[in-house]
Amino acid sequence: MMLVALLVIPLAGAVLSWRAVGRLATTLHTATAVLTLVGALAVAVTVNRGEPLVAFDGFLRADALSAWMIALIGIVGALAASEAPRYLAHTAPGRFYPLFHLFVFTMLLAVSTDDVGLMWVAVEGTTLASVFLVNFDRTRASLEASYKYLLICSVGIAIAFLGTVLVYFAGIEQFGDEVHDLRWTTLLLLAPGLSPRVIELAFVFVVVGYGTKAGLAPMHTWLPDAHSEAPAPVSALMSGVLLSVGIYAILRFKPVVDAAAGPGFTRGILLALGVLSVAVAAAFLWTSPNYKRMLAYSSVEHIGLVCLGLGFGGALGTSGALLHVANHALAKSVGFLLSGRIRAAYGSAEITAVGGLMVRMPQTGTAFMAAMLALIGLPPFGLFVSEVMIFGAGFAQGFRAVAGVALVLLVIAFAGLLRGVHAILYGPPVREPAVEISGWRPALPVAAALALLLLTGLAWPPGLGDALDRIVAIVVP
Quickly list DSSP for 364-395.
HHHHHHHHHHHHHT-TTSHHHHHHHHHHHHHH
Contact at 8 Å (CB) between 245 and 329? no
Strand partners, 54: 61
User: For residue 461, what is the DSSP state?
Assistant: P
Instruction: Write the CB contacts of 402 (distance below 8 Å, at least 6 apart in sequence).
Output: 271, 275, 308, 394
pLDDT tens digits, 327-345: 999 999 999 999 998 988 8
Nearest-10 Cα torsion for 460, 461, 467, 472: 0
Strand partners, 115: 183
Return the ∠ at Cα 277 (arms to 273 and 282), rounded to 5°. Answer: 150
Return the ∠ at Cα 272 (arms to 314 and 291), rounded to 5°. Answer: 105
Instruction: Write the CB contacts of 466 (distance below 8 Å, at least 6 apart in sequence).
Output: 48
Q: Which helix (H) or strand (E) holds 53?
A: strand 53-55
**What average pLDDT is seen over the chain?**
91
Contact at 8 Å (CB) between 449 and 79? yes
pLDDT tens digits, 439-471: 677 788 999 999 999 999 988 888 898 999 999
How many Cα atoms sit within 13 Å of 132 on the Cβ side? 14
* Residue spans of alpha helices (H) in 262-352: 263-285, 291-312, 314-346
Contact at 8 Å (CB) between 277 and 216? yes
115 φ/ψ angles, rounded to the nearest 5 degrees: -100, 125
Instruction: Return the pLDDT at 461.
Output: 83
Instruction: Return the pLDDT at 355.
Output: 82
Burial of 371 (0-12, 13-18, 19+ CB in 10 A): buried
Instruction: Return the pLDDT at 441.
Output: 78
Instruction: Return the pLDDT at 92.
Output: 64
Q: Which helix (H) or strand (E) holds 60?
A: strand 60-62
Burial of 111 (0-12, 13-18, 19+ CB in 10 A): buried
Instruction: Return the pLDDT at 214.
Output: 94
* Centroid of chain to Cα 391: 21
Q: Percent of the chain scored above 90 by pLDDT? A: 68
Distance CA 262, CA 186 (A): 18
Strand partners, 62: 53
3-state secondary structure of 113: strand
Instruction: Write the CB contacts of 444 (distance below 8 Å, at least 6 apart in sequence).
Output: none
| Residue type at 106 in one-letter notation | T
Strand partners, 60: 55, 113
pTM attached to this predicted model: 0.95
Tens digit of pLDDT at every position of the chain (477 positions)? 789 999 999 999 999 988 888 788 899 999 999 999 999 999 999 999 888 999 988 889 999 999 999 999 999 999 999 999 888 876 666 689 999 999 999 999 999 999 998 999 999 999 999 999 998 888 888 899 999 999 999 999 999 999 999 988 887 766 666 556 688 888 888 888 888 999 999 999 999 999 999 999 999 999 999 988 999 999 999 999 999 999 999 999 999 999 999 899 999 999 999 999 999 999 999 988 899 999 999 999 999 999 999 999 889 999 999 999 999 999 999 999 999 989 888 888 888 888 888 888 888 889 999 999 999 999 899 999 999 999 999 999 999 999 999 999 999 999 999 999 999 998 887 777 776 666 677 788 999 999 999 999 988 888 898 999 999 999 987
* Residue spans of alpha helices (H) in 176-262: 184-190, 196-214, 223-229, 232-237, 243-261
| Residue type at 239 in one-letter notation | S
